[in-house]
Structure 1
């Protein structure tokens, strides 16, 4: 008597509670990573201060200073070149991964490097960035700390031999915690993780990231102080509907600025690739341009956090605002295109804030309000992270009442960016290495469609009483499909017979009068129910190597359909049609 099929697939997300335990495991490690990232942020800030003092004031001190306060004459050209030359040497003989923004490198490690970052990167990235920024490089500390915090999370995961998916979660947790340590913006850091780094929305990843961010925020008052990083007084703000309407238009302009900056950055990078010198020397060449920009206006040098504060306060002259808008853009694009080490976030805030300040001269309300809206917009447009941009601006300043305006500015800039740019300023760098990254997330149709929605109903079946001889003849005579369900007299599933089975029986000389029910009696046949998610069926196909899975009724055990690989492709096609086809209602 034939045995019943024994392999009963269960939806992968309902199979067991292992995902819950993984979440708890990762959450248990998150406080360690959050603490490490917070201290890494503190160390990076101190290293930048020490480097700035050494390069521009010739003293060993960790006091916060800016290159704009130094008086070094023509040394303003030489110092960035020296610092950039040091970066080139570190990249050549240390690690090439210290080059660049920091965030694209983290994304690439997540998607293509199994979330593995090395101890060398964790040590060299903050040092190289401190030298770069301290010597006048027009960068911010956020990219380096995201890379360093991510390395801390990745190394922690590697110590405990965690999976690639678990390493990704802890890498992103470290990156978000590092950003929180620098800026004190927990909500924006969590959203950055979701919009830019995680490429998923699961409890397994979300909960550990939140814990690491909160732990880092808890350390911040002891390490870097409390309160918003850039507080400013903005009285008599426009009413919300007026502010949001104008901010939407401002966001469109800032989005155009973001697309222009991104386009120019990679044009400049292409020019460096055509230079007849080794890439080790490119940062020094970029350093010459930085130094010349410093001669025009020293405000363009360094991270420029004091410039962000001054833009929000509305205390800069129009000459300085224009210098930040034009000269800062040039030196930043050339320096970044040369392959040196530094982040994009602080420069973007300055450039968006400068445009907002310029336009704010003609808009109602305080200039600082429009500078803040410009900062939110340019981050949303350049990085394709609209929620992060909106929250980041209000958390930096403490003006949560301006959230409607920052959301409007972010939406306007994001819309323009999507319409004009194929990719963000972050993912374009990765795409140039032949790896396209889609930053639009949708629910996979394999995860919500059920088998009965895509299966082929009432499939052809073979009776269990059919002999092996007749089955071989069936396939020899040109059967349409490679395999068929075998059923008993009540149409209940016995097994699946395939063309390869028929060939094997023919070669082995099996008893030709043996019924299929007996020939398949020892088979463990995969099957699925009507309500099984087709993602679970797809997993079953991969696991078993069987491309046609019978679908049975849970109560009667009768075969009601068959689901093939082609049906899975039809599900994707149906999802695409739902996106593009339009029809009248009725």
Structure 2
């Protein structure tokens, strides 16, 4: 016979993960096609707006010959985006990632089907008319919308629907940047909010599928090909990476605050939000007149940064004009992604600062700057570090890249209460924590906290026993009423539970008269019980489902071995919280000249003894009145009866 602990598993996954994985593979293929279609739409829109021709050839807006008339193109594009948002769906506004997080966490993975069509259309018009954005964010929300629609068409759980949405979103990212590994990490660090096989496996399969099909549609090479780094990493380069991470965190903090500053300013305007993208387009158009390279996605500019084909004029244009028109345009809540602009701004920062640092290899500091600013902006250091490898196929920079990303992530977490992605959620009154870990209730068993000194009655007990119990309780007063036990089992000859009475039911039976009546008729037959080898997390889930606050604990033979209350769960949670706050020294150094005898004052021993006594299971603390206790116990009896009937 296996031990009771063998019933527990490391993972809660079941065979449904295979079904969801097959659906995720389909989503990966669809998302890669959508990413290709969006890039083609952006190329078409760019040709129409700036070259007045119907063509899908990839071009940059900076090569136009329109003169000063070009300043009106972003305004027209912003106006069209505003109209699509007003009369199509407001969900097309924004850069995609916060909207995806909001749907995943707060809307149970449900997206309107028309978003899958209108979002890429609005994005293509926004970027094609010169908007300083990237296509990756809209691809994420578009792929996520397709996954959500599929999850709404099929009979799946909310969790499975969310996984499908994240699979579609991550696959879109993998197809847009040819980065399946970074897209998988992005899902873990930003979208899934859990680390479970049921979600990680389908998402990874979707990203792999999207990456494979992307190679067929857009080619197998990296987006930003650069000279590989083969030199050994000098310690001065590591110090430079540390500095780069610090500067990236400061720059990201400034950009994030600027974005939300302009969001606030646009919200205060006495006009409908439909006109905001057009107003932002005015700033974009003027910036494009001064610095044409600031318009559009700017992949060619990023390639120049990586190959060090730059001038100080280019760097200044990116850091000043590109950054300014980007934050203004984002503040106007038009459609467009943030990753490509962040890559350009971070690359310019890396090249500029790299002139003062130890040389590594051509374009190395641009990569470090690009990825560190992504880490600080998204709060996803592992995703950003993997970007360096998959976007450039240059794995020789992993050490300085990882150091810069982690440094930027740490400092930005200290400087900003919210990341660039979650600040907009906070403005809507939504709170989202980016931290998750092992549930402390998952690591504690019932047997560790249950009460074993239980007052129980035989199944043959009568109401006279309840009368005797009530008389003793009243005689002892507050000390007795403050006791932890709230349920009273009636046991058969073998120790099995025949029924349970709550404290309120015991009082009612004692006051009902007829002392010879069987007490078992006043109780709840077939009560819900838990096992000593169950985790407190599973018990908490049963409590939430049944609305009960106390459970009897029985062994494999059905014999009563203890009682577990909700206070015991709270105590386990409190101890876990105490681990985060309490500072104590475990080891003490003993020098040759130090005294070896125990010099701890006797008061420490008294405090420790008092603390241990306060945490014993027999502690008191119920200060409610008798009426409140009876009302609370009666409500629990009702919940128990209802659950037993079910």
TM-score, structure 1 length as denominator?
A: 0.93
Match of 2:384 among 380, 389, 398: 389
CA deviation after TM superposition for structure 1 residue 222, in Å: 1.6
How far residue 236 of structure 1 moved from its aligned partner, in angstroms, is 6.2
The DSSP-based 3-state class of the residue aligned with 1:529 is coil
Match of 2:18 among 24, 38, 41: 24
In the alignment, is residue 302 of structure 1 matched against residue 302 of structure 2? no
Hey, what does 1:576 align to over in structure 2?
577
Are 1:89 and 2:51 matched, yes or no?
Answer: no
Q: 1:439 to 1:494 in 2, by over 3 A?
A: same
**2:395 aligns to what?**
400
CA 1:556–1:277: 2 relative to 1, 3 Å = closer
2:591 aligns with: none
Alpha-carbon distance in 1 for matches of 2:227, 2:513: 89
3-state SS in 1 of match to 2:95 = coil
Matched-pair contact (CA < 8 Å) for 2:230–2:396: no
The 5 Å alignment of 1:413-424 reads 413-424=408-419
Deviation at 1:240, TM superposition (A): 5.5
State the partner residue of 1:429: 424
In the TM superposition, residue 461 of structure 1 has moved relative to its aligned partner by: 3.5
The answer on whether the counterparts of 1:526 and 1:540 sit within 8 Å (CA) in structure 2 is: no
> Does residue 1:530 correspond to 2:532, yes or no?
yes
Counterpart mapping for 1:548-567 below 5 A: 548-554=550-556, 557-559=559-561, 561-567=562-568
Contact 1:55/1:134 (<8 A) preserved: yes
Return the match for 2:259 from 261, 265, 268. Answer: 265
Give the stretch that moved more between structures: 155-164 or 136-145.
155-164
Q: Output the CA distance in 2 between the equivalents of 1:395 and 1:482.
A: 60
Matched, 1:57 2:59: no
1:125 Cα deviation after fit: 0.3
Q: For residues 510 and 467 of structure 1, what CA distance do their matches in structure 2 show?
A: 11
Q: Give the CA deviation at 1:469.
A: 4.2
In the TM superposition, residue 234 of structure 1 has moved relative to its aligned partner by 4.7
Matches of residues 151-170 of structure 1 in structure 2 within 5 Å? 151-170=145-164
Match of 1:454 in 2: 449
Aligned pair partner of 1:546 in 541, 545, 548: 548
Report the counterpart of residue 614 of structure 2 in structure 1: none
Give the 5 Å matches for 1:138-153.
138-153=132-147
If you compute each CA radius of gyration, which structure gives the higher value, 1 or 2? 2
**How much does 1:549 deviate?**
1.1
Q: Is contact 1:100–1:342 with CA below 8 Å preserved after alignment?
A: yes
Deviation at residue 485 of structure 1 after TM alignment? 3.1
Query: Gapped runs of 5+ residues in structure 2?
Result: 475-480, 588-646
Match of 1:4 in 2: none
What corresponds to 1:498 in structure 2?
502
Paired position in structure 2 for 1:516: 519
CA separation of 1:410/1:235 partners in 2, compared to 1, >3 Å: closer, same or farther? closer
Provide the rounded CA distance (Å) in 2 between the counterparts of 1:120 and 1:421.
Answer: 35
Gaps of at least 5 residues in structure 1 are 1-8
Structure 2: distance between partners of 1:26 and 1:13 = 24
| Secondary structure in 2 matching 1:270 | helix
Name which of structure 1's ranges 313-322 and 457-466 shifts more when overlaid on structure 2. Answer: 457-466
Cα distance, 1:251–1:568 mapped onto 2, change above 3 Å: same
2:278 aligned with 1:284: yes
SS at match of 1:365: coil
Moved more, 486-495 or 127-136: 486-495
TM-superposition CA deviations, 1:126-183 (whole Å, max 9, x none): 0000000000001100100000000111111111121110010010000111111111
How far apart, CA to CA, are the structure 1 residues paired with 2:560 and 2:20? 43
Instruction: Say whether the 8 Å CA contact 1:240–1:405 is kept in structure 2.
Output: no
Query: CA 1:289 to 1:527, structure 2 compared with 1: closer, same or farther past 3 Å?
Result: same
Partner of 2:360: 365
How far, CA to CA, are the matches of 2:507 and 2:563 in structure 1? Answer: 23
Tell me how far apart the structure 2 counterparts of residues 418 and 237 of structure 1 sit (CA, whole Å).
32
Query: What is the aligned partner in structure 1 of residue 343 from structure 2?
Result: 349
Could you tell me how far 1:246 is from its partner in structure 2?
A: 1.9
> How many residues are treated as equivalent by the alignment?
574
User: Which residue in the other structure is 1:42 paired with?
Assistant: 36
Contact 1:237 1:369 in 2 (8 A): no
C-alpha contact (below 8 Å) 2:494/2:559 kept by paired residues: no
CA contact (8 A) 2:466 2:509 kept: no
- Secondary structure at the aligned position of 2:67 is classed as coil
Question: Which residue number corresponds to residue 6 of structure 1?
Answer: none
| Deviation per residue, 1:207-265 (Å, 9 max, x gap) | 11111111111111221111111011155645164433321221111111111111111
CA drift at 1:542: 2.4
Moved more, 81-90 or 151-160: 151-160
Residues 483/60 of structure 1: CA separation in 2 closer, same or farther (3 Å cut): same
Among 386, 407, 410, which residue is 1:412 paired with? 407
Separation (CA, whole Å) in 2 of partners of 1:47 and 1:11: 56
Work out the CA distance in 1 between the residues paired with 2:189 and 2:23: 23
Does the 8 A contact of 1:10 with 1:536 survive in 2? no
